[in-house]
Amino acid sequence: MTNIQINFLWTEFESPVFNASGPACTTMEELEKLWKSEACAIMMKSATYEPREWNPEPRYVDLEMGSINSMWLPNLGYKKYIEFSEILKQKYNKPVFTSVSGMCMGDFPKMVKEFQENSQVDFIEVNLSCPNVIWKPQIAYDFEATENILCLVENLWDKPIWLKLPPYFDPIHTNQVAEIIAKHPKIKFLTCINSVGNTLFINPEKEEVVIKPKWGFGWLGWTYIKPIALANVRAFYKILWNKVKIIWVGWIYSWRYVFEFLLAWASLVQLWTSFVQQWAEVFERINNELINYLKERWYKNAEDSIWKLKEL
Ligand SMILES: Cc1cc2nc3c(=O)[nH]c(=O)nc-3n(C[C@H](O)[C@H](O)[C@H](O)COP(=O)(O)O)c2cc1C
């Protein structure tokens, strides 16, 4: 019997794969679909302190090999996700994650405290890869702001904190962020990576950009970002292997990518685009494919493949 369960802390994940935060986990109806699927956990949409509306359309466009978007973080506000966590935990038996995105520094500790003390979520993902102030970098590219937020949220109670990070493109930056994270032992998990920001696609026939907000500049996902995600997972593993666990996001489409990321030391994987393209069936398909592949390779457990990547 091949086993794809992953265990860490006190939690048993039935498989390594679940959804990343994004529009398809915003409402209770969407979250219930996730519960019924073979996703190993339920991630909710990134919550802000106040509810937020959508950017004007077109704000999301499927591309030949991925997608570009600028949604403006539409969500129902954190209070709704506290309510949803109660319902999800009462009715269903799966780990539940919240994701929090502050629009100013003070929003982060306020929301984390509420989710720590008054919600049923098992884990809190702090999304540092969103711009919170116009004309300032996303938080995780501002190392002083990152350090301040970690100081503000780390001691608010004992539910584990995960950081969702953007991609880093220079090893010096990866080292600097890793140094900050290492100073905060309560940070136990990193989710790498969020969509790649500040990208541009144009339609040459129409002679125009493809999305309306921000002059066409938007966030890129799926196939384009996989090597960047893989390199970020591996780079953080190299520096922080004994301090954090790493969750990979960025073009998970089949067992092959899950296996690659386990080899490179991701403990779990999240997917967004594949989920919205194929809905809940994607989890069942990938889990079955992964079981078959591990059997072929004589692995008894998915966990045995973590760490195994050889270097030449
Ligand atoms: C339309 C859209 C909305 C997203 N919203 C969020 C969000 O609210 N919070 C977050 O942490 N990531 C968000 N993401 C990023 C995804 O969670 C994920 O990191 C990214 O899409 C890469 O995964 P993929 O290649 O499987 O799509 C969003 C992505 C897309 C395409």
Res 179 pLDDT > 90: yes
Mean pLDDT along residues 135-160? 91
> 46 CB under 6 A from ligand 1?
yes
Mean pLDDT along residues 268-274? 92
> 21 CB under 6 A from ligand 1?
yes
Cα 196 to ligand 1 centroid, rounded to whole Å: 10
Which residues are designated catalytic?
Answer: 130
> 250 CB under 6 A from ligand 1?
yes
Q: For residue range 211-242, what is the model confidence (pLDDT) as tens digits? A: 999 999 999 999 999 999 999 999 999 999 98
Res 56 pLDDT > 90: yes
**Is domain 6-55+74-198+223-305 classified as CATH 3.20.20.70?**
yes
Cα 244 to ligand 1 centroid, rounded to whole Å: 22
Q: What pTM value is reported for the model?
A: 0.96
Nearest CA to ligand 1 atom 7: 22
pLDDT at 158: 87
Nearest CA to ligand 1 atom 18: 194
> 141 CB under 6 A from ligand 1?
no
SS (H, E, C) the chain: CCECCEEECCEEECCCEEECCCHHHCCHHHHHHHHHCCCCCEEEEEECCCCECCCCCCCEEEECCEEEECCCCCECCHHHHHHHHHHHHHHCCCCEEEEECCCCCCHHHHHHHHHHHHCCCCEEEEECCCCCCCCCCCHHHCHHHHHHHHHHHCCCCCCCEEEEECCCCCHHHHHHHHHHHHCCCCEEEEEECCCEEEEECEECCCCEECCCHHHHEEEEEEHHHHHHHHHHHHHHHHHHCCCCEEEEECCCCCHHHHHHHHHCCEEEEEECHHHHHHCCHHHHHHHHHHHHHHHHCCCCEHHHHCCCCCCC
Q: For residue range 88-104, what is the model confidence (pLDDT) as tens digits? A: 999 888 999 999 999 99
